[in-house]
């Protein structure tokens, strides 16, 4: 029974996450890309995110293909997953709002790209990635299946490993000292800690 609650919560969460992104995606497309560092690796990682965050959960929800990797969903992970979803929505919305037209889903700089160091970006450098991580954690807690549950988390951790340093290098090359100062006074994901 609770497996279905988890699946329903996940599907609703996916819809909310996409709904938060769509208007920002449309708006940022109005600003041209000035520089792109999107290579084969980056494209592969984005595809893996699509598989882990969308395709695998969908297969799990609509077919019995992954049933060999099912386990019972308990109340604690279910409640934890719902709390994580709520928090990820808030953080995702805040970071999108603060980043505005400077957002890209890849390693890109837009025309007249502005360095954002206010709002949620005053506390941490990667609030959007933090929100996606918490969302992926929610997926792992809500979908009681080792394959569909962990898909997004595995893909996103891989993406972070390969994207974080190149992104900070790109920002450093573009903005120089102001970004260096920003790096020195902020942490990546957890204020004052990490
Ligand atoms: N890493 C950030 C942004 C994710 S979106 C976060 O997790 O919140 C990725 C794009 O945002 C990058 O390609 C870069 O162009 C842009 N970006 C990252 N940090 C930025 C900042 N502080 N100000 C403006 N643009 C930024």
For residue 62, give both structure tokens. Answer: 């609509």
Q: How far apart are the CA of 103 and the centre of ligand 1, in A?
A: 6
Cβ(186)–Cβ(171) below 8 Å: no
For residue 15, give both structure tokens. Answer: 């819809």
**Beta-strand relationship, 108-110 and 33-36:** antiparallel
Instruction: Determine the Cα–Cα distance for residues 136 and 98; give it in Å rounded to an integer.
Output: 22
Q: How far apart are the CA of 30 and the centre of ligand 1, in A?
A: 17
Our answer on whether the CB atom of 104 is closer than 6 Å to any ligand 1 atom is yes
pLDDT at 174 over 90: yes
Q: What is the pTM of this model?
A: 0.94
pLDDT band for position 62 (cuts 50, 70, 90): very high
Our answer on whether the CB atom of 140 is closer than 6 Å to any ligand 1 atom is no
Helix 75-99 and helix 2-28, axial crossing angle in degrees, nearest 10: 10
Our answer on whether the CB atom of 88 is closer than 6 Å to any ligand 1 atom is no
pLDDT reported for residue 1: 58
Could you tell me which residues come within 8 angstroms of residue 5 by beta carbon, excluding any fewer than 6 positions away? 73, 78
Q: Which atom in ligand 1 lies closest to the alpha carbon of residue 110?
A: 15
């Amino acid at each position: 029974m609770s497996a279905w609650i988890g699946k329903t919560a996940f599907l609703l969460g996916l819809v909310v996450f996409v709904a938060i992104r769509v208007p920002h995606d449309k708006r940022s497309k109005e600003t041209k890309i000035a520089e792109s560092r999107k290579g084969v690796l980056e494209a592969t990682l984005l595809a893996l995110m699509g598989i882990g965050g969308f395709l695998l959960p969908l297969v799990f929800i609509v077919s019995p293909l992954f049933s060999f990797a099912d386990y019972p969903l308990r109340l604690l992970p279910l409640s934890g997953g719902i709390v994580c979803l709520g928090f990820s929505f808030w953080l995702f919305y805040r970071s999108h709002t603060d980043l505005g037209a400077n957002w890209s889903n890849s390693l890109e700089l837009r025309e007249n790209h502005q360095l954002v160091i206010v709002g949620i970006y005053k506390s941490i450098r990667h609030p959007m990635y933090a929100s996606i991580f918490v969302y992926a954690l929610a997926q792992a807690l809500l979908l009681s299946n080792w394959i569909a549950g962990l898909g997004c988390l595995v893909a996103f951790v891989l993406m972070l490993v390969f994207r974080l340093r190149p992104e900070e290098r790109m920002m450093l090359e573009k903005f120089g000292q102001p970004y260096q100062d920003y790096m020195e006074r902020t942490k990546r994901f957890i204020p004052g800690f990490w």
